[in-house]
Structures are given as C-alpha cells and as structure tokens.
C-alpha cells in the first residue's frame, strides 16, 4: 500500500513532462516530488520514460541536476563511516574511486588494497557487467568462496580491520536510482548526461565516502565515445561532488584499446594479482598508480609512494586479507576455460590499432558478459591478448587467444574481431595517451 502524498500532492506527472518537453526548468519541489512519487509507484513507468526522453533531448541546468541527485540520495539510506578509527584514535579517512566502465578495466582490484596500505579506508561499492563492459563483482566471484553481498556492519568491520572492501551496494542505497537505471536501459536514455551523472553520484554520495576520484573513460570501448561528451560528464560529476561537500577529481582516460592483456573475469583477476606482485602490463600499473596518487591526495596523505607498495608486497598483503575476509581463498586456483582458439597476425608490421569495443563484444559473446541482468557469466571465458598497439608482429604469430567453455561461441566471437586489428608497415607508431586530462 502506498503512503499518501503530503504537501507535494499538487504536482502531477503530465505537468512535469510538459515543462521539460517545452525546455523549461523543473523546480526543486517538482523534482523532489517526481523522484519520491516514482520510487513509490505513483508515477507510471511510461510517464517516467517520457520525462527521461525529454531530459535527454533538452538537458538540465546545474541546479536541476544537483536537486535530482539530492532527491535520489534522499530516497534511501546514507552510510556513515565516522566510526572508523586510526590506531591513534582519530577518525580514519575514507576515499573511493568510480570508473565509467571499459574493456579490460580491472583497476579496482589492485587499486583498493593499494590505497589501503597507507591507512586510508576504501569502501568500494561495485557492480556487475552488462553487455561488453565487464563488472568488478563478476571478476571477483571467479575466486572460490568469495562473496559480494555484505551487511553494513560487515562492511564497516572489514574497513576497520583490513582497510578495503569491494562489495555490492545494499538495496537501501539510492533505491530511486536502481529503478531509474533499469528504465533508462530499455528506453534509449542511458546517454543522457544529467541522468548518468546523477545516477553515478547519488550512489557515491549516499555511500558516505570522504572523497572521490572518477575515471571517466573515452573511446570505442567506453560508454562515452568522444572526448567532448566525456569531458562534459566529468565536469558535471565533479560539480555534483563539490555541491555535496565531497572532494571530487576526475581523470579522462583512453579506452580505445583494452586495458592490459586480458578481457574476461578469472583472467582479469589473474592479471590483477600480477600487478599486485610487482609485475603486470604497463598500462594497468600506470593507471592504478595514478589513481592511487589522486585518491591519497584527496584523503590528505602526503609523501606516499604507491608504486613502491606494489613492488614490495604491501599491497598484495592487503589483497590477501581483503579476499579472505569475504570468504575467498586468495591462493586457490582460478577457473580455466575448457576450450581455446587462437587468432594469428595476418601480416608483418606494427600493431597500430586493437579496437576495445570489438574485443569487449568478443569476450561478451564467449560468455564473459551478460545481455540481461539475470544472465549467468562464465568465469573462465574471455580474450587473452598477446600484443598491444606499438608492438612489432610477424605473420602467423598469435595475436589473441579466445577462451570459453562452450566452443559453439567461437564463430560469433571471431566475427566481432574481423576488423579489430590494424597492422601498419614497420616504423609506424600509434598515438596512445592513456591519461588524457585531469578535471578538478
């Protein structure tokens, strides 16, 4: 049974849809009523779909976006980490990172324990993959015994003891966003920057972190394909963080090429452990260290050397404790695909392009991703890359190995990769800049 509307009952959905349809600005009272009424089922799905489309087409100003975000936060609970204590009895500072998602983006896995090395708590609430972008929780669930769902008390206890937690957001955190996200996904309105920015920031602000670093990806394998759109999204989210009193910094990073040499679940965990052991692909290490530096700066920690903490084993120690605290065995063998197929270089030359979107779609078709939220994923499926742009290759050398438990998936995965690779004459060099800009 729905509770009766209070002082906001004067509004109705059609009036609000017309206001935004006609390029008007919604008042704070209209926005608060809209989010509350939709969350409780008073506004019909088709009405909210129409409003979302009007917002996509006509936009929102900064005040509207801030109020929309605040209303979504108010729809649920807010976490409080003020009870976390340092050894000297002071409050332990919290910081977090959010990525807009990409292919091979396993950065959260080494990053959370790395930042925790320096006494800062990292409450990393993560999600599952949908489509060609992988989900952090899917990757970690390939570790035997590891569990994503923790109660608030369990999360706080782990942050106090270990300093880092990667888990699923509870149902009570910004429930309006959960409902809105599902609707946007099926109505072609995911691309709306006001709706996307408020979706991300409502959860992160409700999470209660002291500061936030955003990894806003741009390129073929990212949600935002062009730099102008990615920059607008980053600037909007930084402004929302500032308005909410959360120090927020964004990095624009390149997602034209997959991050690292793996795209999947278990194989990305394997690569993350290599990074924690002081090795791993240079791009994964570079981005992990840079994001750690930004998070520590936001948390007020000076003089830290994240690169050294990767090489000397301190970050690995926190990783082992973090995985074990959530029931996982950090030393257990990871799942291995039953079937493999290799793609070879067609010619001699320099690999100048390896399209992230194509690799992501191939990994998805092999079973590493899902088309619907309820779909299962294969822990061992994915794509292992043997060369990155800039490498010299010879005809007949392995370029990629496809992994799956269901060999009938190979054909469609290979179709996705038909035009993924560009090989140019030797002496060519691709223009690859991993970190494009910093927005604060």
Alpha carbon distance 134, 63 (integer Å): 33
Scan for tokens 């896995």, then name that residue.
Answer: 109
Q: Sheet harboring 392-393: ordered strands across?
A: 392-393, 349-354, 421-424
Which member of 97, 184, 204, 384 is catalytic?
A: 184
Q: What does the DSSP assignment read for 222-245?
A: SSB-SHHHHHHHHHHHHHHHHHTT
The single residue of 142, 192, 198, 199 carrying the catalytic annotation is: 199
Q: Are 136 and 99 in contact (CB under 8 A)?
A: no
Among 117, 118, 142, smallest CA distance to 322 is for 117
Q: What are phi and psi of 85, to 5 degrees?
A: -125, 140
User: What are the tokens at 227?
Assistant: 């730099």
**98 in active site:** yes
Catalytic hit among 20, 128, 139, 203? 203
Q: Which of 36, 105, 138, 177 is catalytic?
A: 177
User: Which residues are 124's β-sheet partners?
Assistant: 166
Distance CA 187, CA 206 (A): 26
To the query of whether residue 215 is one of the catalytic residues in this protein, the response is no
Closest CA to 370 of 99, 185, 226: 185
Asked about 370 being catalytic, the answer comes back as no
Please answer whether residues 58 and 25 qualify as being in contact, where contact means their C-beta atoms are separated by less than 8 angstroms: no
CB-count burial class (<10 Å; 0-12, 13-18, 19+) for 358? buried
User: What tokens were used for 46?
Assistant: 């088709």
User: Looking up tokens 């793609």, which residue turns up?
Assistant: 343
Q: Specify whether the backbone of 151 is left (phi greater than 0), alpha (psi in -120 to 50) or beta.
A: beta
Q: Quick one: 161 exposed, middle or buried, by C-beta within 10 A (0-12, 13-18, 19+)?
A: exposed
Q: Which is the catalytic residue, given 92, 97, 98, 231?
A: 98
Any catalytic annotation for residue 419?
no
Q: Are the C-beta atoms of residues 370 and 327 closer than 8 Å to each other? A: no
Helix (H, G, I), strand (E, B) or coil at 10: helix
Question: 144 pairs with which residues across the strands?
Answer: none
| 199 annotated active-site | yes
Kind and range of the H or E run holding 421:
strand 421-424
Strand 392-393, strand 349-354: pairing: antiparallel
Output the CA torsion sign for 30, 31, 34, 37: negative
Q: Among all residues, which ones are annotated catalytic? A: 98, 177, 184, 199, 203
């Amino acid at each position: 049974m729905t509770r009766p509307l209070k002082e906001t009952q004067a509004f109705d959905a059609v009036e609000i849809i017309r206001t935004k349809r006609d390029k008007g600005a919604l008042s704070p009272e209209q926005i608060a009523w809209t989010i509350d009424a939709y969350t409780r089922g008073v506004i019909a799905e088709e009405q909210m779909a129409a409003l979302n489309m009007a917002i996509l087409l006509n936009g929102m100003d900064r005040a509207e976006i801030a109020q929309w975000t605040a209303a979504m936060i108010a729809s649920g609970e807010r976490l409080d980490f003020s009870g976390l204590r340092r050894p000297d009895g002071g409050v332990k500072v919290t910081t977090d990172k959010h990525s807009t998602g990409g292919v091979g983006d396993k950065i959260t896995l080494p990053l959370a324990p790395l930042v925790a090395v320096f006494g800062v708590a990292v409450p990393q609430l993560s999600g599952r993959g949908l489509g060609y972008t992988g989900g952090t929780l899917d990757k970690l669930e390939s570790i035997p015994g590891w569990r994503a769902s923790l109660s608030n008390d369990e999360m706080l206890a782990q942050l106090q003891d270990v300093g880092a937690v990667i888990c699923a957001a509870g149902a009570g955190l910004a429930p309006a966003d959960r409902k809105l996200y599902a609707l946007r996904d099926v109505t072609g309105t995911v691309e709306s920057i006001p709706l996307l920015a408020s979706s991300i920031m409502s959860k992160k602000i409700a999470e209660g972190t002291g500061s936030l670093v955003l990894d806003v990806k741009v390129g073929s394998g990212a949600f935002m394909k062009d730099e102008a759109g990615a920059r607008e999204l980053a600037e909007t989210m930084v402004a929302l963080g500032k308005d909410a009193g959360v120090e927020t910094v964004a990095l624009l990073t390149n997602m034209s090429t997959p991050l690292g040499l793996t795209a999947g679940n278990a194989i990305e965990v394997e690569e993350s452990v290599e990074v924690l052991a002081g090795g791993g692909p240079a791009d994964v290490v570079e981005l992990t260290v840079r994001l750690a530096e930004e998070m520590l700066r936001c948390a007020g920690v000076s003089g830290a050397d994240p690169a050294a903490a990767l090489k000397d084993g301190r970050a690995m120690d926190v990783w082992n404790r973090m995985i074990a605290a959530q029931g996982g065995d950090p030393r257990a063998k990871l799942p291995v695909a039953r079937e493999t197929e290799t793609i070879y270089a067609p010619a001699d030359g320099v690999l100048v392009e390896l399209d992230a979107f194509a690799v992501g779609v191939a990994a998805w078709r092999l079973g590493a991703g899902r088309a619907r939220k309820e779909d299962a994923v294969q822990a061992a499926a994915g794509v292992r890359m043997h060369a990155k742009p800039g490498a010299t290759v010879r005809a007949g050398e392995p370029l990629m190995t496809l992994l799956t438990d269901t060999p009938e998936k190979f054909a469609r995965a290979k179709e996705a990769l038909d035009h993924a690779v560009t090989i140019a004459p030797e002496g060519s060099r691709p223009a690859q800049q991993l970190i494009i800009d910093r927005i604060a």
